[in-house]
Amino acid sequence: MLDKFREAISLLRSNIRLFSLIILTIWLPGNIIINYLDYYVFYGEDFVDLTRVSMSIEGIFGPIYIGALIYALSRLKQYQVVTYTEAITTGFRNWGRLWWAQFVAGLIITLGFIALIVPGIVLTIRYMLIDSVVILEGADASESRKRSSELTAGKGWQIFGAYVLFLFVITIFSFIVYVPVGVMIELGFIEQLSSMIICIVIDCVLDIIYAIIIIVMFLFYWESKDDGQQDDDELQLRTTPD
């Protein structure tokens, strides 16, 4: 699991320009909207509505940059050159299928949490690789859930542990970054427009860092896909007559 984090960080660092362009295609305008609403509409008081706006942007437009990242990662893992235009075009082209697959999976997971907490967690783990399956295998919503369940078999605890670990670390990091800024704003050391710009920059940086968990999930997919292909090849060799 830690090896995947190391590889994910290495991939992000070595392709920081490409990945940043992909992510900020969605999240630069997204963060501008969110912070404008926070400062000039909600006045920092309506956290629920602000969270709803952020989740809406991620839910509607997130599949574009996620699909683009996954496509770019698949090319990089095959030692092939990939451009921003090629990657983001793939993201836009597959937006509808990935959005629908995520929506249906999210609905099923929500029902699992309503029924009992444990089924919701189990379903979340099983469907963690849906994004890669949709983008790289061309699967529809139903096929992607089945395929993701197959690929996560035997790796559930690793995937769950990776996700929880990342959420813990990113939460601590966000707290460390935002608290000093919030204090300076409250004390009046930073004027409103400047503080909004600073928050937009911080949000964009955190969105780029968040790509680490997307890369880690892709690496789980890539490993499971290769393991499955190797098993199929071995089975074919055993069943092929001499």
Cα 192 from Cα 190, distance rounded (Å) = 7
219 found inside a domain: yes
201 found inside a domain: yes
At 240 the pLDDT is 45
For tokens 């605890």, name the residue.
Answer: 157
**How is residue 56 annotated by DSSP?**
H
Q: What's the token pair of residue 194?
A: 């400047």
Q: What's the token pair of residue 76?
A: 């990089």
Domain of residue 59 covers 2-96+130-137+154-233
60 found inside a domain: yes
For tokens 């290495």, name the residue.
Answer: 10
| Positive/negative CA dihedral, 213, 96, 25, 201 | negative
At 229 the pLDDT is 55
Cα 128 from Cα 98, distance rounded (Å) = 13
| Positive/negative CA dihedral, 176, 182, 188, 193 | positive
At 239 the pLDDT is 41
At 1 the pLDDT is 75
At 40 the pLDDT is 84
At 231 the pLDDT is 47
This prediction's pTM: 0.86
Question: Half-sphere exposure of 3 toward its Cβ, with a 13 Å CA cutoff?
Answer: 4
Q: In the 3-class helix/strand/coil scheme, how is 102-133 assigned residue by residue? A: HHHHHHHHHHHHHHCHHHHHHHHHHCCCHHHH
238 found inside a domain: no
188 found inside a domain: yes
Cα 43 from Cα 191, distance rounded (Å) = 14
Cα 179 from Cα 158, distance rounded (Å) = 32
Tell me how many domains the chain contains. Answer: 1
112 found inside a domain: no
Q: Kindly give the confidence (pLDDT) of every residue in the chain, 242 residues in length, as a single tens digit, with 9 standing for 90 and above.
A: 789 999 999 999 999 999 999 999 999 999 999 999 988 887 766 778 888 899 999 999 999 999 999 999 999 999 999 999 999 999 999 999 999 999 999 999 998 888 777 788 899 999 999 999 999 999 999 999 999 999 999 888 899 999 999 999 999 988 888 888 777 766 767 776 678 888 899 999 999 999 999 999 999 999 998 775 544 444 343 444 44
CB 128 within 8 A of CB 224: no
147 found inside a domain: no
Looking at this protein, which amino acid is placed at residue 148?
S
Cβ-based neighbour number of residue 163 at 10 Å: 16
Closest CA to 132 of 35, 235, 59, 215: 215
**How is residue 66 annotated by DSSP?**
H
Q: Outline where 116-191 has alpha helix (H).
A: 117-126, 130-137, 141-152, 156-186
115 found inside a domain: no
At 236 the pLDDT is 41
Cα 217 from Cα 33, distance rounded (Å) = 28
At 51 the pLDDT is 86
